[in-house]
Amino acid sequence: MNRKDKVRVISDFLKKHWIHYIVGVVFLVLTTFVQNLAPRLLGMIIDALRIENVDKEKILIYLGMMIGVAIVAFITRYIWRYFIIGNSRNLECYLRERLFQHFQTLPVQFYHQRKTGDLLAYAINDISAVRMSFGPGLAHIVNAIGVCTVSILAMAQTVSFKLTTLSLLPIPIIIFLMIKIGGLVRKRFRIVQENFAAISDRVQENISGIRVIKSYVQEKEEVLKFDELNEKMRESNIRMIRVSSMLSPMIELCFGVSFMISLIYGSSLVKNNVITLGDFVAFNGYLTMIIKPVTSIGRVINIIQKGMASFRRLGEIFKVRSDITDESSDSSLTAINGDIELKDLTFSYPGSEEAALKNINIKLSKGKTLGIIGKTGSGKTTLVNLLLRLYNVERGKILIDGRDINDYPLKTLREHIGYVPQDNFLFSATVRENIHFFNDMYSDEEIEKSAKLSCIYDNIMDFTQGFDTMVGERGTNLSGGQKQRISIARAIIKNPAILILDDALSAVDTKTEEKIIEHFNSILNGKTGIIIAHRISAIKHADEIIVMDHGEIIERGNHEELLGKKGIYYDIFHEQFREEMRKKVDNEAP
């Protein structure tokens, strides 16, 4: 990612908020000028006190001016902090919003290649590091430049140019150290961020799978794995600290040399009446003022280098673009009737040489239902992924109502498809919110109707708070069958033109499955249905059934026709029938 692309990430923010930074910098520079009056006033007070006839009125005026300087510095410091530090918080919020929006546009394949912990590190640590660069980092740099410039000019012009030059001889060494060590900090911080992502991913995975871990008595092994990652994190932090901790002591050592030069040569100038004692005190006051911002530059360099490393990591994410776009779509297409046709469809997942689908041809008219059955990995879910345009069609065509699927805007296409995935994801919200999917346009009557059609209504009524019951993260408070039925209710309430169930009845019992299938006859009245299942009982009433294996359609027809062929479908049917009979006998046994 080139520099121009990186700058573009925050250019929109800076266009709207540049005035805040300008105001902040102006008041920061003003604070610097005001603070630099203090050493000069202190020197004037000391010189005034050395006179035999002390002018008390003049000293009181100087003291009053010093109090005034402190008050003005307080006000200006508050203003610059409000604008610069406050604006950096706005930038942090803006970047998180942009990143989250960007995540929504990325293809499914992107999430298959990235770990959740890594994405969390981008959203939390990296954005925080960038915020520190544009807040405290920027403020410290401007302050250091301002203080050093004003103080050095005051030292050279009002005290002694030669004393100033000699005292600042160590400055080039300081600059060299900052550049050299700063580069090392940036490289090592990047490793720290990567290790943080690995730990985040491990913690999230552990918490999500805690039931499985406990069931298999794997707690000790999980702790060992975490300890290994934690140790890597500690080591990477120590390696970074070893470098970053060197900078401030080295800078302080250089300034120790500066003070030694100032004391030795400055005292000789006072002794020879070249400068006054007040000038000498003022000079050392200026030198002290320089020490603080320059010494803190060690910490600031760390902040800036960390920010640069994080900005580079964020840039890598922002430059990722989805190949699933609306560029060739027809915006006039706002509705779908439900006719589906797949012509000579062949597809391979990115990075895979093996075809997931091979020469698929299907024609499904509006109001008809297609049943799909086959072994795991036979290509059933891949068909759904292509119908939802989660992936682009490579070879062949998918037609919706006679138009190429790419002609439809993504919003139109997906709004008119009700999809129940096989992994049944529920959000950490109420049952009601999971059904209407945070869309308040649906009435309570519509929510209850969809719950009844998916045979989950009675279960919901048994919950302590009914539809307002929290389901827990990823639906952990519910059984697998309950999660499936809530997911079905979520799809039904959309009243879609096309309804797709991807093995969505696998966790429900046979009687509940029969009830849901019976309800589907009314739900799918005039709509197109696609039911993917492992159990023939879920698809036997479909208008057409296809049997898939290794990405190909090997049998097709309705239930009776396929049984008559005595092929794979016939074998699956009798195998499942015998299994049901065995279960029935076992249940009836005393």
pLDDT digits (tens, 9 = 90+) for 4-62: 545 566 777 888 888 888 999 999 889 888 887 887 788 788 877 776 666 778 888 88
Does position 466 have pLDDT exceeding 50, yes or no? yes
Residue 479 DSSP SS3: coil
Between CA 545 and CA 554 the distance in angstroms is 11
Token representation of residue 424 = 């049944």
- Per-residue pLDDT, 7: 52
Q: What mean pLDDT comes out for the span 64-77?
A: 90
Tell me the sheet residues that pair with 546. 372, 556
- Every domain of the chain with CATH number 1.20.1560.10 lies at 3-318
Between CA 375 and CA 379 the distance in angstroms is 9
- Every domain of the chain with CATH number 3.40.50.300 lies at 341-416+498-585, 422-495
Q: 175: Cβ–Cβ under 8 A, 6 or more apart, which residues?
A: none
Does position 237 have pLDDT exceeding 80, yes or no? yes
What is the CA 232 to chain-centroid distance, rounded? 23
Token representation of residue 136 = 């405290």
The percentage of the chain sitting over the pLDDT mark of 70, rounded to a whole number, equals 95
Q: Report the half-sphere exposure of 318 (CA within 13 A, side-chain side).
A: 25
Between CA 104 and CA 560 the distance in angstroms is 44
- Whether the CB-CB separation of 544 and 538 falls below 8 Å is answered with no
Q: pLDDT of 488-529, one tens digit each?
A: 999 999 889 999 998 887 777 778 888 888 888 778 888 899
What is the CA 48 to chain-centroid distance, rounded? 62
- Whether the CB-CB separation of 384 and 419 falls below 8 Å is answered with yes
| 572 vs 209: which has the higher pLDDT | 572
Report CA-CA distances (Å) from 478 to 437, 471, 506, 507: 17, 7, 15, 12
Confidence band for 2, pLDDT divided at 50, 70 and 90: very low
Does position 557 have pLDDT exceeding 90, yes or no? yes
- Per-residue pLDDT, 140: 85
Between CA 313 and CA 179 the distance in angstroms is 21
Does position 3 have pLDDT exceeding 60, yes or no? no
Here the contacts of 74-78 (C-beta below 8 Å, separation 24 or greater) are: 76/27, 76/28, 76/30, 76/31, 76/34, 77/27, 77/31
- Per-residue pLDDT, 216: 62
- Per-residue pLDDT, 590: 56
Residue 416 DSSP SS3: coil
For residue 190, the one-letter residue type is R
- Per-residue pLDDT, 372: 94
From the list 38, 32, 35, 288, the residue with the least C-alpha distance to 146 is 32
Q: 166: Cβ–Cβ under 8 A, 6 or more apart, which residues?
A: 261, 265
| 402 vs 307: which has the higher pLDDT | 402
Does position 168 have pLDDT exceeding 60, yes or no? yes
Within 10 Å of residue 455's Cβ, how many Cβ atoms? 21
Token representation of residue 34 = 């005001």
- Per-residue pLDDT, 387: 93
For residue 390, the one-letter residue type is L
Report CA-CA distances (Å) from 588 to 17, 208, 335, 397, 510: 75, 38, 52, 52, 16
| 285 vs 363: which has the higher pLDDT | 363
What is the chain's mean pLDDT, rounded? 84
Residue 461 DSSP SS3: helix
- Per-residue pLDDT, 364: 94
Tell me the sheet residues that pair with 369. 529
Alpha helices, DSSP H only, in 106-170?
Answer: 108-113, 116-121, 127-132, 138-158, 161-167
Does position 266 have pLDDT exceeding 90, yes or no? no
- Per-residue pLDDT, 291: 75
Specify the fold of 341-416+498-585: Rossmann fold (3.40.50)
For domain 422-495, give the CATH superfamily: P-loop containing nucleotide triphosphate hydrolases (3.40.50.300)
Confidence band for 1, pLDDT divided at 50, 70 and 90: very low
DSSP state of 426: -
Tell me the sheet residues that pair with 557. 545
Does position 218 have pLDDT exceeding 90, yes or no? no
Q: Is the pTM of this model over 0.85?
A: no
Report CA-CA distances (Å) from 454 to 65, 424, 429, 485, 529: 79, 14, 19, 5, 15
From the list 486, 522, 495, the residue with the least C-alpha distance to 415 is 495
Length of the chain: 590
Cα-flanking dihedrals φ and ψ of residue 371, to 5°? -105, 140
The percentage of the chain sitting over the pLDDT mark of 90, rounded to a whole number, equals 24
Sort strands 544-549 and 340-347 into parallel, antiparallel or unpaired: unpaired
Q: pLDDT of 286-340, one tens digit each?
A: 888 887 777 677 677 778 878 888 888 888 888 888 888 888 888 898 899 999 9
For domain 3-318, give the CATH superfamily: ABC transporter type 1, transmembrane domain (1.20.1560.10)
Between CA 383 and CA 369 the distance in angstroms is 15
For residue 129, the one-letter residue type is A
Specify the residue for token string 């932090």: 237
